[in-house]
Amino acid sequence: MNAVALTFDDGPYPSTTPALLAALGEVRATFFLWGEHAAAHPDLVRAIAAAGHGIGNHTWTHPRLTSLDTAARDREVRRTQELLTALTGIRPELFRPPYGDTAPAVAAVAAGHGLTEVLWSVDTRDWAGCSADEIVTAASAVEPDGVVLMHEGRPATVEAVPRILAALAARGLRPGPVRG
């Protein structure tokens, strides 16, 4: 199929989300939104949705979910679900646990909210402060049907996106959102 999912975690951020949306242009991606950030920047959540991008749940406070009890895990996911649904009119169907920190109990909470857990096949390590060149190089390892992990709030990621898109096109790969 030659599809590749581009994903962006932790947003939205006023400092980078508008530029990231511009860098993506007509390409659609999936944004796993941090509830506290979404609550602080509802217009950016609406802009992501209006541009046709997929929106996924990335919890309210970005905790390590395996360190929480079931009730706390549920609150993290439920509160974010409610906010994102209220802001966009679309109930998220995808969930990414912060740090990829998952276990059967975490997946069960997500499933209880009708969410499918999504991890990744390529971590660009942009969260570690990598340069745009390093992010582009890391993303180049993605294979068809792979999922590339990137983060909002990182200027180097915004800088890397046009080059990632060009490199994928040169390989005959079609970037897009996660297909749930």
Is 151 catalytic? The answer is: yes
DSSP SS3 for 22: helix
Q: Report residue 150 as tokens.
A: 């990137």
Is 9 catalytic? The answer is: yes
Distances (CA, A) of 176 to 49, 104, 117, 137, 164: 14, 28, 17, 19, 12
Distance CA 82, CA 105 (A): 21
The single residue of 9, 10, 37, 41 carrying the catalytic annotation is: 9
Residue pair 180/116 in contact (Cβ under 8 Å)? The answer is yes
Residue pair 147/5 in contact (Cβ under 8 Å)? The answer is yes
The single residue of 37, 53, 58, 151 carrying the catalytic annotation is: 151
Place of tokens 């990598």: 130
Q: Which residues are catalytic?
A: 9, 151
